[in-house]
Amino acid sequence: DQQVKQNSPSLSVQEGRISILNCDYTNSMFDYFLWYKKYPAEGPTFLISISSIKDKNEDGRFTVFLNKSAKHLSLHIVPSQPGDSAVYFCAASLFGDMRFGAGTRLTVKP
Amino acid sequence: DAGVTQSPTHLIKTRGQQVTLRCSPKSGHDTVSWYQQALGQGPQFIFQYYEEEERQRGNFPDRFSGHQFPNYSSELNVNALLLGDSALYLCASSPTTSIGYGYTFGSGTRLTVV
């Protein structure tokens, strides 16, 4: 049961431009949505989250948008930096049970 | 401040054998979750432990079992290993009431079943 989907396996952007990573979900009961970043040979690292009662959360260069009617969330990174190159996972939580998407590999070119 | 530590880092087992993976949560965290990540996929939820009891479980067979100890550390046991159990096994810890702050993950145990 693929409740969280990331349909773009990869994304390439130029340094300084905006990176937009997308995620769709099917279960309207999810209470929290999160983004994680993963470098090779490391576990995922928490990046930013948003409660289901909000539509936007911002933390520095990272902003997450939630569109509940479309069951869609996105992560915006502005400006993108080469160090942002990693695999980004979208996750959705239902009372602590966290489900992940398959990930999007972001490459930021200098 | 040590984060989540997992052992061993790599493991090779033969089909049909049993394996035990270990996890020490981040200091101050009392909830431990286990995930299986196959190549090219996102982590799949196996189960979560809190107060030494399995609180939630994903869609994994009974061959997958676990335990949490009074010091909050945890073990994942897999019996009758199949080739398809080859994956990266991730342990994550969290304070019980702070899902909005995300989980802290370990670097994982790479299990290869031959």
Residues of A in contact with B59 (CB under 8 A): 1
Q: Give CA–CA dist A57/A69, Å, rounded.
A: 17
Residues of B in contact with A53 (CB under 8 A): none
Q: For B86-106, what is each residue's pLDDT tens digit?
A: 999 999 999 875 677 789 999
pLDDT < 70 stretches in chain A: 1
- Determine, for residues A103 and B103 on separate chains, whether the beta-carbon distance falls below 8 Å: no
With a cut of 80, say whether residue B1 has pLDDT above it: no
- Determine, for residues A96 and B92 on separate chains, whether the beta-carbon distance falls below 8 Å: no
Lowest mean pLDDT among A18-27, A71-80, B41-50, B62-71: B41-50
Q: A98: Cβ–Cβ under 8 A, 6 or more apart, which residues?
A: A34, A91, A92, B33, B45, B99, B103
Q: Give CA–CA dist A73/A84, Å, rounded.
A: 19
Q: Is B112 on the interface with A (CB under 8 A)?
A: no
Of A86, A82, A73, A80, which Cα lies nearest the Cα of A46? A86
Q: What is the pLDDT of residue B87?
A: 97
For chain B, how far is it from start to end, CA to CA, in angstroms? 37
Name which residue leads in pLDDT, A97 or B41.
B41
Instruction: Note which residues in 61-90 of chain A have CB less than 8 A from chain B.
Output: 89
Nearest CB among A46, A102, A103 relative to B103 is that of A46
Mean pLDDT of chain B: 93
- How many CB pairs below 8 Å do chains A and B form together? 65
Q: What is the pLDDT of residue A1?
A: 60
The pLDDT confidence band at residue B11, using thresholds 50, 70 and 90, is very high
With a cut of 80, say whether residue B2 has pLDDT above it: no
With a cut of 80, say whether residue B72 has pLDDT above it: yes
Q: Is A46 on the interface with B (CB under 8 A)?
A: yes
Ordered alpha helix ranges (H), chain A: none
Q: For B13-38, what is each residue's pLDDT tens digit?
A: 999 999 999 999 999 999 999 999 99
Q: What is the pLDDT of residue B97?
A: 59
* B17 φ, ψ (degrees, to nearest 5): -75, 175
Q: Give CA–CA dist B75/B56, Å, rounded.
A: 15
The arithmetic mean of pLDDT across residues B42-71, rounded, is 94
Residues of A in contact with B56 (CB under 8 A): 95-97
- The three-state DSSP-derived secondary structure of chain B is CCCCEEECCEEEECCCCCEEEEEECCCCCCEEEEEEECCCCCCEEEEEEECCEEEEECCCCCCEEEEECCCCCEEEEECCCCHHHCEEEEEEEECCCCHHHCCEECCCEEEEEC
Q: What is the pLDDT of residue B98?
A: 65
- Determine, for residues A89 and B43 on separate chains, whether the beta-carbon distance falls below 8 Å: yes
Report the percent of chain B where pLDDT is more than 70. Answer: 97
